[in-house]
Homo-oligomer: A and B are copies of this chain.
């Protein structure tokens, strides 16, 4: 019965995975994690057939069930997925919905002493877990990763760091060119800290946990700065280092350099071989993205060009950072086509 429920033509399995790598993580976040796997129509009727696999990763604050969030008059992401593979003519693929939430908002899908070993969890636990249970084509050239925003970031960096695992990616408005996407908000954080939280991130987090969380949307910058610092510039003992003076906003160059080392634009310069090895690269962003991730996309594209990479997809579309889930199927199709067996 439309529009409330659309019986999927493929199948969604809601699983759990007990992660050894996340056990004892520094934030005491759960190490048993949800994982959803979508198998396309026909999967059960073709017991020998193997499929490429697409790993979907969430943006900051994303929990797995947010894939079901519905916007007015729109299909949710699960419905988009089923539609693409049931009606859209995309080559069949297995789609894996990953959760790397942390109580700071997320993990950027990297290993950090500030949050946990999320890249390893993804590459060394989730992927084998899926390969063991589903008829994937279990090689990097048939495995893609995709997401938006922080998920778009993860989609860019995971294949650079683990080309042995991922052979393609699609990034929608992924965090990149950190001086344009992150730095401009620092000053807002400093002012908010001063005016509302006595200069203390601890107080901010305490109030957030008491709830209702993030009642004032402009305070998202505080969560973002702190979470990114936990990902990019935590000390080995887990101490989170902010890249700016909390009272004035003056940049702390040595911490800021640690952030820049995680910037996909800078990383691309060091991971050219990995990038060249990929079978599918898709990058887009809204022209009016609130975080100016169009600039990150342009800068990343320039690095691809410098590396001599061809055949990637690139688009700046007419839109912002919000409500762009309708772009996902474009990327999934792109990945499914290029990551299928030839």
Residues of chain A touching chain B, judged by Cβ–Cβ distance below 8 Å, are 1-5, 16, 30, 32-34, 61, 63-66, 68-74, 76, 99, 101, 105, 177, 179-180, 183-188, 190-191, 195, 208-209, 211-215, 217, 245, 247-251, 265, 287-288, 292, 294-295, 298-299, 302, 319, 322-323, 326
Contact = CB atoms under 8 A, between A and B. Distances in A.
A248 B187 contact: no
A214 B74 CA distance: 9
Contacts of A326: 211-212
B211 A74 contact: yes
Given A4-B64, A63-B3, A292-B249, A74 B213 contact: yes
Q: Count this chain's copies in the assembly.
A: 4
A249 B295 contact: yes
Contacts of A299: 245, 248-250
Given A177-B249, A183-B183, 19 more contacts: A1-B33, A3-B30, A4-B30, A4-B63, A65-B68, A68-B68, A69-B69, A69-B70, A73-B105, A73-B213, A74-B213, A179-B249, A191-B287, A191-B292, A191-B294, A212-B323, A247-B298, A247-B302, A248-B298
B215 A302 contact: no
Contacts of A65: 4-5, 68, 70, 76
A330 to B, nearest CB: 12
A249 to B, nearest CB: 5
Nearest to A2: B30
A101 B4 contact: yes
6 nearest CB pairs, A to B: A184-B184, A61-B72, A73-B213, A248-B299, A212-B326, A187-B292
Given A4-B34, A295-B191, A72 B180 contact: no
B179 A251 contact: yes
Nearest to A176: B248
24 contacts: A1-B16, A3-B30, A4-B34, A4-B63, A5-B65, A61-B73, A65-B70, A66-B70, A73-B105, A74-B212, A177-B250, A179-B186, A179-B250, A180-B187, A180-B190, A184-B185, A188-B292, A195-B287, A212-B326, A214-B323, A247-B302, A248-B298, A248-B299, A250-B265
A141 to B, nearest CB: 30
Given A3-B63, A64-B4, A99-B4, A302 B212 contact: no
Contacts of A302: 247-248
Contact of A319 (B4, B190, B213, B215): B215
Contact of A73 (B71, B214, B217, B250): B214
Contacts of A61: 72-73
Contacts of A213: 71-74
A187 B295 contact: yes
Most buried by B among A30, A74, A180: A180
A111 to B, nearest CB: 22
A96 to B, nearest CB: 16
**Among A16, A251, A265, residue most surrounded by chain B Cβ atoms (within 10 Å):** A251
Given A250-B177, A298-B248, A3 B101 contact: yes
